[in-house]
Each structure stands twice: as structure tokens, then as C-alpha cells.
């Protein structure tokens, strides 16, 4: 009963805080999408977002239901002893949804199916790395729970923060090379990226190109790493198809 009340309080608090967060956010003037994109581009974006949102909400609903049953129902009795099994069960619940989402997205991006082999390999690599990370997290959780029977929630929270920063730091070293190969970007593009980052008060030294054209037609960029491993990564498809100013817009967004 107490857990149900606490869960209800947390849900109400999150819902109540949402309007305040929206009010506190910085609202930039809205631009007309039609001024920058064709009708075909807008329609394709809406189709893609609709599919992504659908699977996203399905994932959220499944996760909340499973966690609610485990935390508030009969499953809470064996949660401590079966924490590893709980994590595995939750993964199996969301796995069909993830596979369906990935296949639907790939069908939109690659109607000719040229990325199927890379998709299988990427899922395999991702599975091994996620399993290893889950094992480390579970081990830390179990050790802290045994060593600190009363204070373990606080210790787990602190360890979670430390593990998060560690994961962000080593992501470019261990995780990303398993899915792509990288090479340095040309000096002109590197100078533009560093200038954009400097305007935002962000120090960036490494700007790389990720060879993604063998996997996808998506044009994208991202920022990863922390401290000495921080870097900006541009897809080779982005540089091949967009003009320099358009590339700068994508980088600024990231």
C-alpha cells in the first residue's frame, strides 16, 4: 500500500512539473517548415515520425506496466533475489518491439535491403556490449546491496552517476568502433565545426567522419565522449549530399 501511494505521488509530481518545465524553456520564434522543405520531404518526415512515436509509446507503456507489476504487485516480493532475472525479463518484453521498430525504419530507409547484413552484425555487436554493460551494473548493484543493507539506495544512486560518466567517456573508445570506421575530416570542415562549437562555448578538438554510407542513406551527425574523448562525428553521407552551410546547420543542432 505504501509503495502504491509513493508511486502515485511520484507520478502526480512529474505531471505537475511538466507545465512548469514547458514555461521555463526558451521558446524561439517558430519558422514555417514549408519555407525550407518541399511537400514530399514534409510528408516523408511525418510518416517516419508517426512510426517512431508509435513504437516509442508502445515501449513506454510496456516498460511502465512491467515495472509497475514488479514493483507494486507480487513481483516485488522476489525482486531482490531475482534482480538479474527481472532485468532479463524486461529486456525480452521490449525486444520484439525494438526489432519491429528497427525493421520498419530500415524498410523505409533501405527498400532495396542493402543494409540487412550490417543490421544483423550491428545488432549482434550491440547485444554483446549491452550484455557486458548489464553484467557490470548488476554486479555493482548486488555488491552494494550486500555491503550496505540500509544505505544501498544512496550508494547505488552515486554509483549510477559514476557509471554514467564513465560510459560517456569510454563510448568513443569501445562502443562506437564496433559499429563504424572513422577517418579525419578535411581541414576546412574541421575549422567550421570548431568555430560553431566555440560560439556555443564548447571546446572540441576531434572532428571525424563516420563511414555510414555502407549502412544507411541517413544524413546525420552527433557528439560523443567526455573530456579527452569528446568529439564531433559527421556521417560521410552528410558531407557527400549537403552543402557546407547545410552541414553547419546540422552540426549546430547537435
pLDDT tens string 25-43 = 556 667 788 887 888 888 8
Q: Of 122-126, 149-153, 219-223, which gets the smallest average pLDDT?
A: 122-126
Q: Looking at residue 234, what DSSP letter applies?
A: E
Is 8 domain-assigned? no
Strand partners, 206: 231
- Same domain assignment for residues 73 and 90: yes
Is 25 domain-assigned? no
- Structure-model confidence comparison of residues 194 and 46, the more confident one: 194
Range of the domain at 66: 37-109
- Same domain assignment for residues 105 and 121: no
Is 27 domain-assigned? no
Half-sphere exposure of 99 (CA within 13 A, CB side): 10
Cell 530500415 found at: 106
221-224 and 206-210 beta bridge pairing: unpaired
* Listed residues 91, 109, 127: the one ending a domain: 109
Distance of CA 249 to the CA centre of its chain: 21
pLDDT band at 113 (very low <50, low <70, confident <90, very high): very low
Share of the chain above pLDDT 70, in %: 66
- Same domain assignment for residues 98 and 139: no
The average confidence (pLDDT) of the chain is 78
Please give the model's pTM, rounded to 2 decimal places. 0.60
pLDDT at 202: 86
Q: Check if the beta carbon of residue 224 is closer than 8 Å to that of residue 171.
A: yes
Length in residues, the chain: 254
pLDDT at 12: 65
- Same domain assignment for residues 235 and 218: yes
Is 24 domain-assigned? no
Within the chain, residue ranges assigned H as helices are 2-24, 39-72, 83-109, 116-147, 152-170, 187-199, 236-241, 244-253
Residue 149 has pLDDT above 50, yes or no: yes
* Listed residues 63, 84, 109: the one ending a domain: 109
- Same domain assignment for residues 137 and 196: no
- Structure-model confidence comparison of residues 79 and 184, the more confident one: 184
Q: Looking at residue 242, what DSSP letter applies?
A: S
- Same domain assignment for residues 72 and 132: no
Residue 173: which of 141, 129, 114 has the closest Cα? 129
Phi-psi region of 30 (alpha: psi -120 to 50; beta: other; left: phi over 0): beta
- Same domain assignment for residues 198 and 249: yes
- Same domain assignment for residues 99 and 129: no
**61 grid coordinates:** 507503456
Q: How many C-beta neighbours within 10 Å does residue 203 have?
A: 9
* Listed residues 109, 124, 151: the one ending a domain: 109
Residue 184 has pLDDT above 70, yes or no: yes
Residue 49 has pLDDT above 60, yes or no: yes
Number of domains in the chain: 3
- Same domain assignment for residues 50 and 85: yes
Is 160 domain-assigned? yes
Amino acid at each position: 500500500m505504501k509503495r502504491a501511494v509513493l508511486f502515485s505521488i511520484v507520478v502526480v509530481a512529474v505531471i505537475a512539473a511538466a507545465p512548469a518545465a514547458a514555461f521555463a524553456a526558451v521558446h524561439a520564434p517558430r519558422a514555417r517548415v514549408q519555407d525550407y522543405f518541399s511537400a514530399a520531404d514534409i510528408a516523408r518526415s511525418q510518416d517516419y515520425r508517426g512510426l517512431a512515436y508509435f513504437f516509442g509509446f508502445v515501449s513506454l507503456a510496456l516498460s511502465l506496466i512491467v515495472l509497475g507489476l514488479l514493483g507494486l504487485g507480487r513481483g516485488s516480493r522476489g525482486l531482490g533475489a531475482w534482480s538479474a532475472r527481472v532485468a532479463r525479463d524486461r529486456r525480452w518484453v521490449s525486444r520484439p518491439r525494438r526489432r519491429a521498430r528497427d525493421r520498419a525504419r530500415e524498410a523505409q530507409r533501405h527498400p532495396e535491403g542493402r543494409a540487412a547484413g550490417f543490421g544483423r552484425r550491428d545488432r549482434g555487436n550491440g547485444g554483446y556490449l549491452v550484455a557486458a554493460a548489464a553484467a557490470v551494473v548488476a554486479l555493482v548493484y548486488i555488491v552494494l546491496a550486500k555491503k550496505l543493507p540500509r544505505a544501498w539506495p544512496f550508494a547505488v544512486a552515486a554509483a549510477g552517476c559514476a557509471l554514467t560518466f564513465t560510459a560517456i567517456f569510454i563510448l568513443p573508445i569501445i562502443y562506437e568502433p564496433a559499429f563504424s570506421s572513422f577517418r579525419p575530416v578535411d581541414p576546412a570542415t574541421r575549422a567550421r565545426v570548431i568555430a560553431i562549437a566555440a560560439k556555443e562555448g564548447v571546446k572540441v578538438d576531434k572532428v571525424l567522419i563516420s563511414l555510414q554510407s555502407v549502412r544507411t542513406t541517413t544524413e546525420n551527425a552527433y557528439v560523443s565522449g567526455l573530456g579527452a574523448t569528446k568529439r564531433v562525428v559527421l556521417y560521410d553521407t552528410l558531407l557527400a549530399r549537403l552543402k557546407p552551410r547545410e552541414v553547419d546547420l546540422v552540426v549546430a543542432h547537435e
